[in-house]
Amino acid sequence: MENDVSKVLLTEAEIRAGLKRLAGELTVEYRGSDLAVVAVLHGSCVFVSDLIRLLPIPLTLEFLACGSYGEGTVSSGEVRLTFIPGAENFAGRRVLLVDDILDTGRTLLRVREALRARGAADVKTCVFLDKPSRRVVPIRSDFRGFEIEDVFVVGYGLDFAGRYRNLPYLAALKPEIYAARQPAPEPRG
C-alpha cells in the first residue's frame, strides 16, 4: 500500500494539529447546545471518529449514505440519498454535517437540504478537506480542516476504488495506480 504512494500531502502530526484547531472552533460554536453530528459514509469515518473525541460537549452521532446516478468516468451529478437516519435523531436540533471532502459540492448541498427539509433546527457543515477549485454548485463549508489543490487524494478515510482508507496520512498515488484501473476514479462516498 505504501509503495503506491507518490507523495504525502498531510502527515499524521499535521492532521492532528489541524483537527485540534478545528475542534476548538467547533467547541466555541456548540458549547451548551444539544448537538447532532451526522456524518457521510464512508469517507468521513476516520475523520469523524477522531474529531468527536476532541469535542468536550454532549453529542449524538448518526451516519447517512449517498450514491450518484450513472456509472463510469462521468458522474451524472445527481446525488441520491441511499440511507438517512430517522428524523427523530436530529429534528429540532442543531446538526453538524460532516464529510471527508468538499469537491464539486453536490453531495453536501443535497444532504444539507435533506436534513433541513426533515426538520433540523440549524445545519452547519464541517469537512476534513476543501478543494475550492473544483466547485460546481454554490456551497462553502462552515468549518474545514485543510484546503488542498485539485489533486485526487487518498488516506485518512478517503479511497480510490474502495482502497487506501486505512492509510493514516493523506497522500497522492503514483499515476500508474490510477491508470491501471479503468475507468478512472469515480469518487464513491
Residues that bind ligand IMP (CB under 6 A): 43, 99-107, 152-154, 158-159, 187, 189
105 binds, among ligand IMP, Mg ion, none (CB under 5 to 8 A by kind): ligand IMP
Residues 6+ apart with CB under 8 A from 93: 34, 35, 36, 120, 121
Q: Which is nearer to ligand IMP, 31 or 140 (CB)?
A: 140
Q: Which ranges constitute the DSSP H helices of the chain?
A: 12-30, 45-52, 106-117, 175-180
- Considering the candidates 103, 122, 142, 150, report the single residue annotated as catalytic: 103
The region, left, alpha or beta by phi > 0 then psi within -120 to 50, assigned to residue 164 is left
Q: Which is nearer to Mg ion, 100 or 130 (CB)?
A: 100
Q: Which is nearer to ligand IMP, 32 or 138 (CB)?
A: 138
Size of the site for Mg ion (CB under 5 A): 3
Binding test (CB under 5 A) with Mg ion, winner from 96, 100, 111, 120: 100
CB contact at 8 A, 154 and 167? yes
Choices 50-58, 82-90, 100-108, 136-144 (CB under 5 A): range interacting with Mg ion = 100-108
CB contact at 8 A, 6 and 174? yes
Report the candidate in 146, 184, 151, 148 with the shortest Cα–Cα distance to residue 5. Answer: 151
Q: Which is nearer to Mg ion, 105 or 189 (CB)?
A: 189
Binding test (CB under 5 A) with Mg ion, winner from 36, 43, 97, 120: 43
Query: Is position 103 annotated as part of the catalytic site?
Result: yes
What is the greatest pairwise CA distance in the chain?
Answer: 50
CB burial class (10 A; 0-12, 13-18, 19+) of residue 54?
Answer: middle
Question: What CA–CA distance (Å, rounded) separates 89 from 94?
Answer: 11
Site string for Mg ion, 119-158 (x = CB under 5 A): ----------------------------------------
- Per CB under 5 A, residues contacting Mg ion are 43, 100, 189
Which residues are known to be catalytic? 103
